[in-house]
Structure 1
Amino acid sequence: MYDFVIIGGGIVGLSTAMALGQRYPQAQILLLEKENHFAPHQTGNNSGVIHSGIYYKPGSLRAKLCREGCQSMVEFCQKYNIEYDVCGKVIVATEPEELPLLENLYQRGLENGLEIQKITAEQVKEVEPYVQCLAGIKVNSTGIVNYTQVAQKYAEIIAERGAKLQLSTKVETIKNTSEGAIIQTNKGEFKAKFLINCAGLYSDRITQLGGVKPQAKIIPFRGEYYELIPEKRHLVKTLIYPVPNPNFPFLGVHFTRMIDGNVHAGPNAVLSLKREGYKKTDFDFADTVDTLTYPGFWKLATKHAKDGIEEIIRSFNKAAFVQSLQRLIPEVQSEDLIPTHAGVRAQALKNDGKLVDDFLIVEGRNAMHVCNAPSPAATASLEIGKAIVEKVANV
């Protein structure tokens, strides 16, 4: 019997295993991942941004762990010689009605303890010469990294400390006993004194298998990206974001310089008809029915109908996507952009149609379930792992 079994080999599951090994060096630890490599889904398909924490509600777990994680992620990369760049970013207002929203965001950043500056349109151009805007915020602590490399380093550290990492192992059932949990997989049975669920896009289903009501359902949203052709990468020096719509849960299409030198433009945010559906044509009947029969989804869709329709239009109409990008950089043309990989975000949604706006960790019987860990979970992964282990210690 293992002392701890972690389900999920993304960056949160790996960071949790690493933190457990640090806290309990003599413990028997097992991590199970259903794919044949680590960080295959949200971690391996995200934008690679080391977030500052400017967007998140002051006092929330998300704001606290992101701010702390921004620093600890940079320190981790320095320690293990992982390439990163604290390049900073600008958030810009392009319309007069966005100026009050920019001011509100600036005040939120100050409340979150960030070093940020309000800058004029002329000062924005000193950072990003091709951006057209009315005003902006400069966020110095934002950076970029390859989170797949970070996750791989986590896995190496875990293995060096003696924990067991098992790939291609899919959890099928969980049975609770007085001694812990019996986890049935396609590779046999494993027993755990304590179970930690970090299954990302399937976290709610694993929670239910563990006999706990997850409090929310995971709704998958696909984020589709374009990439600037090499000849036009000079248009973007760092990261360029619009002022987000405070009533819409996504940040809007933006420009992100990647650590490998590529520049990604996007994402939009459209409902995925498969939990791991990275293509427009991907479809899973059970996943689709699961979403479309959930009352919370229809309440959300009704509330954000206009925004949702615009996202769908951008998904199927490149010209509309380009038009959104031209609000930030007018010089960008359709021929400058080529499609690149998409990501799928696991967003927890309550039955009343409200998105879970913070990290959500639900306790079970000898178990801990991470039921909502969207962005900035990669940035905050080291701190999330520590927080989970702290909760485990206090159970």
Structure 2
Amino acid sequence: MIGGGIVGLSTAYALTRSAPGLRVTVLEKEPGPARHQTGRNSGVIHSGIYYRPGSYKARFAVEGAAEMVAFCAGHGIAHEVTGKLIVATEHDELPRLHALVQRGRENGIPVRELGPAQLAAAEPHVRGLAAIHVGTTGVCDYGEVAEVMSRLARDAGADVRYGSPVRAIRRDDGTGGGGGTGGGTGGGVTVRTASGETFRADCLVNCAGLHSDRIARLAGDDPGMRIVPFRGEYYELVPRRRHLVRGLVYPVPDPAFPFLGVHLTRGVDGGVHIGPNAVPALAREGYSWRTVRVRDLAETAGFPGTWRIALRHWRQEVGELHRSLSKRVFTAAVRRLLPEVREEDLVPAPAGVRAQAVLPDGSLVDDFLFASSGPFVHVLNAPSPAATASLPIGREVARRALAALDRVA
């Protein structure tokens, strides 16, 4: 298995539980778990209210939220079920707010509508015309969740190897594998790491997140998509102003744009994160404007879907870029929800990068995307709420991996 984020580790954990005695090896290029998407987010346990009924996102989020709370409670991981408010600040947002109520009910999520007085009672410093309260939303520390999953998988016999970037993959039937050398007979896969170590497996699971499409191509498969990285930029409230936000407060999302907008999140440590802003990253691990990787940038710029996204969403993206480059403009966006906030109340917080799968026609892949080919199982798109839903996702990927083992047996 390639990838030591929360999806890869959850899959390893699920495999050790569903198939005791199965040899499971996890290869992660970083020196520890959860160094990218898993460990660089606002820590929200999502309810699933936004997602199309019947989609992987909706099903996995609803199941995963309850399971994540139970997992955290069972392993002593800091967490809290706070609920969240989705707030309409303009009259034209009210129909979309009411549509979310209906969607939440279709997904089996407890949703309560609030008028201005009830909103003021729940969040005295937040401005809005109306709101809905979503009771199953919470917060936790996903980095700690990943650490526990890694330990549990290891305790059950899995070999989790950090500092092991994969450089070559060869199908042992001789049919592919970018960077592989030689052929071979029978099924299975041989993987070589940067240190020269080789691993033989009957099935390879690709949970490489920001590099999932590259790993698929290295395996000789055409993923039919490209990861286009978007950086999520956060600020946090200075300690003396944290009282302005009691819990989780979100705007009504724009259905034409794939991001939820700038929201307010009180974490398990009491800090209040504000964001994210969503801008194109100049590297797959580009956590600031200063980080530029020529290969990453060339791949993104050379992909037709990138320019089709830009044409489709240029108005929204201009706004995101403006907020990225101007703290004053970012603060003005926050003041729609939190009128009392001032520029000096905000200090920069660590950014994250979203691995967004994009199709050649410029369509953003909106749901989880899996692909299987011979001994390979690829997780090609694992967007939010992947961390929330990591336990059911891990079981799903494990099921696909066991089916792949049956195919090559």
- Report the TM-score when normalising by structure 2: 0.94
Report deviation, 1:179. 2.4
For residues 324-363 of structure 1, what are the structure 2 equivalents within 5 Å? 324-363=333-372
Task: Give 2:96's aligned amino acid.
Answer: L
Alpha-carbon distance in 1 for matches of 2:88, 2:74: 37
Provide the residue aligned with 1:291 in structure 2: 300
Provide the residue aligned with 1:151 in structure 2: 146
Provide the residue aligned with 1:375 in structure 2: 384
Alignment pair present for 1:180 and 2:188: yes
Alignment pair present for 1:127 and 2:118: no
Deviations 1:149-207 (A, max 9, x none): 00000011011111111110000111101321111111311111100000000000001
8 Å CA contact retained: 2:205, 2:401: no
Match of 1:89 among 61, 75, 84: 84
Task: Give 1:13's aligned amino acid.
Answer: G
**Number of residue pairs matched by the alignment:** 390
- For residue 118 of structure 1, give the secondary structure of its aligned residue in structure 2: strand
Superposed CA RMSD? 0.8
Alpha-carbon distance in 1 for matches of 2:246, 2:328: 24
- For residue 282 of structure 1, give the secondary structure of its aligned residue in structure 2: coil
Pick which of 99-108 and 338-347 moved more. 99-108
For residues 121-270 of structure 1, what are the structure 2 equivalents within 5 Å? 121-177=116-172, 178-187=186-195, 188-270=197-279
Report deviation, 1:221. 0.3
Task: Give 1:37's aligned amino acid.
Answer: G
List structure 1 segments (4+ residues) > 3 angstroms apart after TM superposition: none
Provide the residue aligned with 1:3 in structure 2: none
- For residue 383 of structure 2, give the secondary structure of its aligned residue in structure 1: coil
- For residue 277 of structure 2, give the secondary structure of its aligned residue in structure 1: coil
Provide the residue aligned with 2:5 in structure 1: 10
Alpha-carbon distance in 2 for matches of 1:290, 1:391: 29
Report deviation, 1:374. 1.1
Task: Give 2:123's aligned amino acid.
Answer: E
8 Å CA contact retained: 2:46, 2:61: yes
Unaligned runs of 5+ in 1: 1-5
Task: Give 2:358's aligned amino acid.
Answer: L
Alpha-carbon distance in 2 for matches of 1:215, 1:9: 24
Deviations 1:222-276 (A, max 9, x none): 0000010000000000000000000000000010011111000000000001000
- For residue 340 of structure 1, give the secondary structure of its aligned residue in structure 2: strand
Provide the residue aligned with 1:33 in structure 2: 28
- For residue 7 of structure 1, give the secondary structure of its aligned residue in structure 2: coil
Provide the residue aligned with 2:45 in structure 1: 50
Report deviation, 1:215. 2.0
Alignment pair present for 1:61 and 2:64: no
Task: Give 2:100's aligned amino acid.
Answer: L
